[in-house]
Chain A
Amino acid sequence: MALITEGRVFPLIAFILAWVATYVAVGMGKEGKIHIRRIPGLDAIEEVIGRSVEMGRPVFDIIGMGQFTDIYATQTIAGLSILSYVAELCARLGAKLYAPQARVDVMPVAVELVRDAYRAEGKLDELDVDEQMPYLSGTQFAWASGIIGMAARMKPAGNIMIGPFWAESMMFAESFDRVGAMQVGGTARTYQIPFFAALCDYVLIGEEIFAAGAYVSKDPQQIGSIAAQDWYKMAAIIISIIGALLSTAGINIITEILSR
């Protein structure tokens, strides 16, 4: 039996190279050599929370229905990173945060990091976890109707939705738009991006959400690691172009290497 599973040799090499690239990029980040473009959607989060404070209305942060054990786990982690940042800003600026939960395995982590953010700002007494982070339901439309109801009753001034979303994305975007909330939406679930694009004020498209945690941390090391993502994209583009040209000429060497 082969040590490396058949068909996964090249992916393993790619994974190791990604690891190395991340290390190199982090090193360059430490030295201040990495500069990344601005992501307006993430910059707007502070504006959303500031607006909520001015209007005296709450802010919602919805991280979606992803779990730690499904293929959307990375999106859930991105959502949690943003929740942590949003909670920190809400505690600092005095906005009331609501972050309803749908997944019982993610909920304790979400609660803990919101508590941490409030504790760090010395405002733990202002957080009522049961009220502000209720578990609604693990079933899609029960969870969706719960949030729509909360939005209609509380009329939040802002809504941040970053994480994996399904058909409920349109319902959320429309319901919050209806109550006049400023919205930042972001998901790597391609089916839902158009809905966010149609109704949110700012949208994070696809992989931008994975850079979110590092971006908002403003830590040069973490920002450096985002550069590895772009190097890899460049490599993917080059391989795709070469592969397409060679395939057109009837040479399938790239396809063969990639499927090894």
Chain B
Amino acid sequence: MSVWEKLTAVPREVVMTLVVLAMIIPAIRPLGLPILTGDMSRAWYNTVEQLPEGSVVLFDIGYGSGGYPSLGPGNIAAFHQMFEKNLKLVIMATALEGTMMYPLIMEEVKPEENYGAVYGEDYVFLGYIAGEQTAMAGVLGDLKSLVSTDYQGTPISQLPLLENINGADDFALVAYLTTAGGVAEGWVYQAYSQYNKPLLGGCLSMMTTSIKPYYDSGQLLGLMDGIKGAADLEFLTGHPGDAIVSSDILSFTQTLVLVFIAIGNISFWMTRKTKEEES
């Protein structure tokens, strides 16, 4: 077997080991490679910046443990910006595991400590609301008939923030981060199409191709595309975190993938050429 033939079929163990190394090296020694902030994340950032202080934002944590590495850092950066702007947050989860993500995010954001925010007055967490689009329609249609307590079981009548919030009209902005296509599109139908609400979306990078048409058409005012979008937002908000570190990892790994694609193609063509010459 010639060298070219061997290179057309590098064992997966070799490829995967090199991918591991490409991940570990920048994780241990971040290089701080430059990043270019994308339009979609800048649009997310600017939309939030333009909201007047005290505006109420409905935020959906639509992901669980699997999506946390990609969307968690962006969620943390988004909350930092929103608390910094003194916005009020009504947080809900359309993913069952979203309730487990909420404490992880708040441990990083520390709204009380960092921004003097008070639970119940400046932010509330409604917990998981089942039914995806039914849940969205319920929260935007008539919040109080759908939810009677927050996640901790406190009656919503005892939460000052929710006193004057009944539905879509009371939210200045709706934002979501999700790993589920149904949730990503569901919010467009329910918040934008039904109530014409300003809407921000965030999804995994591989979903971007499907969700971006909503951004292009103006239905989404901003789009956070996975870890890249999260890194952009961390940079824009001035709260560097896991996503910026991940950008180095992403740069290393994807460059390695490009190298392998090049090896695969060069060896494929060289092998074909050799065979043609032989025959």
Contacts and interface: CB of A to CB of B under 8 A. Distances in A.
Q: Does chain A touch chain B in the assembled complex, meaning CB atoms less than 8 Å apart?
A: yes
B182 A191 contact: no
A30 interface: no
A178 B13 CA distance: 12
A71 interface: yes
Contact of B207 (A7, A178, A191): A191
- Name which of A178, A190, A191 has the most chain B CB atoms within 10 A of its CB: A191
A72 interface: yes
B8 interface: no
Contact of B132 (A70, A141, A166): A70
Q: Which of B66, B133, B209, B210 has the most CB of A within 10 A?
A: B66
Nearest to B97: A139
Contact of B210 (A140, A141, A178, A190): A190
Interface in B1-51: 12
B258 interface: no
Interface string A162-176: 000011000000000
A72 B186 CA distance: 13
Nearest to A192: B206
What range describes how many residues of A lie at the interface? 10 to 19
A189 interface: yes
A70 B179 CA distance: 16
Contacts of A178: 12
A191 B181 contact: yes
A167 B12 CA distance: 20
Interface in A122-170: 140-141, 166-167
B182 A70 contact: yes
B66 A191 contact: no
B197 to A, nearest CB: 16
Main SS class of interface, B: helix
A93 B66 CA distance: 40
A140 B66 contact: yes
A136 to B, nearest CB: 16
A71 B206 contact: no
B133 A71 contact: yes
B233 to A, nearest CB: 22
B206 A141 contact: no
A166 to B, nearest CB: 8
Contact of A72 (B182, B206, B210): B182
Contacts of B181: 189-191
Contact of A191 (B132, B133, B193, B210): B210
Contacts of A141: 66
A167 B66 contact: yes
Contacts of B132: 70-71
Contacts of A7: 193
Interface string B160-192: 000000000000000000011110000000000
A191 B12 CA distance: 24
Nearest to A71: B182
Nearest to B182: A71
Nearest to A144: B66
Contacts of B209: 190-191
Interface in B133-177: 133
A202 B160 CA distance: 57
Interface of B: 12, 66, 132-133, 179-182, 193, 204, 206-207, 209-210
25 contacts: A7-B193, A70-B132, A70-B182, A71-B132, A71-B133, A71-B182, A72-B182, A140-B66, A141-B66, A166-B179, A166-B180, A167-B66, A167-B179, A167-B204, A167-B206, A178-B12, A189-B181, A190-B181, A190-B209, A190-B210, A191-B181, A191-B206, A191-B207, A191-B209, A191-B210
Interface of A: 7, 70-72, 140-141, 166-167, 178, 189-191
Nearest 6 pairs of A and B residues by beta carbon: A71-B182, A190-B210, A191-B207, A141-B66, A191-B210, A191-B206
Given A167-B66, A190-B209, A191-B210, 14 more contacts: A7-B193, A70-B132, A70-B182, A71-B133, A71-B182, A140-B66, A141-B66, A167-B179, A167-B206, A178-B12, A190-B181, A190-B210, A191-B181, A191-B206
